[in-house]
Amino acid sequence: MNCFARFIYSILSCFFKKQDGSIVAITGIFVPIIAGATLFAVDHIAMAQKTASLQKAADIAAISTARELHFVQKGMQKRGTTLAAIAETHAKQNMPGDDIKAQARVENDTIVKVKLALTLETPLNRLFQGSRTLTAEAAAEVYGGQNICIIAVDGGNTTPGIGISGQAEIKAGNCGIYTNSRETFSIRAEGSAYVDAKFVCVAGGYEGADRNFSTTVTTDCPQIQDPLETRPFPPSGDCDSSLPNTIKDEENVNLTPGTYCGGLTIKDNASVWFAPGTYFFKDGPLIIKDKATVSGENVGLFFDDLESHFEFKDDAEIAFSAPETGPMAGIVISARNFCPGGSGRCYRPKLRPFTITSANVRSLLGTIYLPLDDLLIDTTMPISEEAAFTILIIDNLKMQQSPSLILNTDYAATSVPVPDGFAGKPAMRLIE
């Protein structure tokens, strides 16, 4: 027993044993102390609870105020007063009956800071200080209202969601990039590789120097949901034996939609036009190589099993645009999420090598939807430079050598629809 405890014990023992007037004296000393300590404890708990409630109200008010930034324009008179009124309204909704005052300050076009003040009276304050003012601050940022060009879904791999090396470039200047990998290398840029984007948001960390990125990489972002996750796959038909497996030499061929089984290779100097519709590939890949020229409008390429994938190789010239209607509307390339023994979302049992090594992929207009597959781009030339827009939803993206992946966002220049979630409503998040 320490000295203080022994002292208290001796006083209390004396208090209960003594019968003379010392009891009155001792009582007169300790009752105010005990009452004061009790009052202080109650006051402290009340203040702590109010402080926590006020901070929560500030967080909500900041997010709600950031949501209004788009409508309360920069040139509007009394902009700060208007935003402060919005913040105060939301704060009072969360702490009804409390006398809350709010201030709002716009840090830039996407960030607003809110400060709340609450005047509070407690029994202890009234005895010694009168009223007391509590304050809480929070800042919120508008994000995600920008266009999104890449989502690296990352289905549990230990590789980067996005990895680029050599002199590879991602040019997504007017849109954003997300990677859901929680690894410390959620995005990795090595050598002279460069990522040019409106924003880069990663669930984990990143590897690379400042010179590798046009903007500061935001780390520890919430994982973004795949906007197409619930989109049903297009129904495929039976194999059509009348469809070719090889197109070569200098053949000029007009292909029709259908189910191509056993693979399709287009090579040499062949020239092939894909008529509008959905092309299903089973039991073999789509290979376009050499100096073949392949194009098609309102075309969807769907890879229906683990043996099917695409390889765009050599100097093959390739230009596709996605369907405008139907189950693949806005999707130029997609693959079935194969789950052995069941259905639904799962990890792939083996890799399907979706690769672009061709030096002449001029346009992939639409969304490349491969959420359980990797995409390798290994070439020296621009990819999809002529497309009005290109969106990637992939498991992992790897780029090497010196390709430039061009991700335009000229949505008004085409009638191919942009899937919901890529040019959608902005979202808000707390940053302080």
Q: Determine which of 20-34, 122-136, 172-186 has the lowest per-residue pLDDT on average.
A: 20-34
Beta carbons of 357 and 313 less than 8 angstroms apart = yes
**Angle, vertex CA 401, rays to CA 396 and CA 406, nearest 5:** 65
Between 118 and 320, the higher pLDDT residue:
320
Q: Residue 426: which pLDDT band, with cuts at 50, 70 and 90?
A: low
Q: Which pLDDT value is given to residue 230?
A: 83
Q: What is the pLDDT of residues 297-307, one digit of tens each?
A: 999 999 999 89
Bridge pairing between strands 331-335 and 310-312? unpaired
For 152, list phi and psi in degrees, rounded to 5.
-90, 105
d(CA 14, CA 129): 36
d(CA 173, CA 221): 20
Q: Which pLDDT value is given to residue 89?
A: 84
Top mean-pLDDT range of 71-75, 95-99, 128-132, 338-342: 95-99
Place of tokens 């194009």: 295
Q: Which pLDDT value is given to residue 342?
A: 43
Q: Residue 344: which pLDDT band, with cuts at 50, 70 and 90?
A: very low
How is 207-233 classified by DSSP, letter by letter?
ES-GGGBSSPEEPSPPPPP-TTTTPPP
Between 52 and 22, the higher pLDDT residue:
52
Structure tokens at 217: 């990489």
For 308, list phi and psi in degrees, rounded to 5.
-110, 135
Mean pLDDT of the chain: 84
> With 90 as the cut, is the pLDDT of residue 393 above it?
yes
Q: Which pLDDT value is given to residue 130?
A: 59
Q: Which pLDDT value is given to residue 221?
A: 83
Structure tokens at 351: 């890799």
pTM of structure: 0.67
4 three-state secondary structure = helix
* Separation of first and last alpha carbons in the chain: 46
Which are the contacts of 183, defined by CB distance < 8 A and separation ≥ 6? 158, 160, 161, 204, 205
Q: Which pLDDT value is given to residue 367?
A: 97
Q: What is the mean pLDDT of residues 63-87?
A: 70
Q: Residue 341: which pLDDT band, with cuts at 50, 70 and 90?
A: very low
Q: What is the pLDDT of residues 192-205, one digit of tens each?
A: 999 999 889 898 89
Q: Residue 343: which pLDDT band, with cuts at 50, 70 and 90?
A: very low
Place of tokens 């969360």: 94
> With 60 as the cut, is the pLDDT of residue 424 above it?
no
Kindly state the DSSP code that residue 116 receives in the 8-state scheme.
E
Q: What is the pLDDT of residues 238-280, one digit of tens each?
A: 999 999 999 999 999 999 999 999 999 999 999 999 999 999 9
